[in-house]
Amino acid sequence: MPPEPRGLPLVEVTRTYQFSAAHRMHNPAFSDAENARLYGRCNNPTGHGHTYRLAVTIRGQVSPDTGWVMPGEALDALVRRHVLVRFDRANLDQLLSPADGVTSTTEVLAGLLWRLLDGRLAGAVLWRLRIEETPSNFFEVNRLLLRRAAALPDRPGPAAGGQKASHP
Which positions lie near other proteins, rule CB under 8 A? 3-17, 57-58, 60-75, 77-78, 119-124
Side-chain half-sphere exposure of 166, counting CA atoms within 13 A: 7
Closest distance between other proteins and the C-beta of residue 151, in Å? Answer: 21
Closest distance between other proteins and the C-beta of residue 22, in Å? Answer: 24
Return the number of the residue (48 or 81) whose C-beta is nearest other proteins.
Answer: 81
Return the number of the residue (2 or 28) whose C-beta is nearest other proteins.
Answer: 2
For residue 77, the SS3 value is helix
CA distance 131 to 137: 9
Are 113 and 131 in contact by the 8 Å Cβ rule? The answer is yes
Closest distance between other proteins and the C-beta of residue 73, in Å? Answer: 8
- Residue 97: CB atoms within 10 Å: 7
Return the number of the residue (74 or 152) whose C-beta is nearest other proteins.
Answer: 74
Return the number of the residue (53 or 167) whose C-beta is nearest other proteins.
Answer: 53
CB-based burial label for 139 (10 Å; 0-12, 13-18, 19+): middle
The closest alpha carbon to 139, from 67, 72, 48, 50, belongs to: 50
Closest distance between other proteins and the C-beta of residue 39, in Å? Answer: 32
Return the number of the residue (9 or 168) whose C-beta is nearest other proteins.
Answer: 9
The closest alpha carbon to 52, from 137, 142, 168, 141, belongs to: 137
Closest distance between other proteins and the C-beta of residue 31, in Å? Answer: 43
Tell me, rounded to whole angstroms, the distance of Cα 36 from its chain centroid: 25
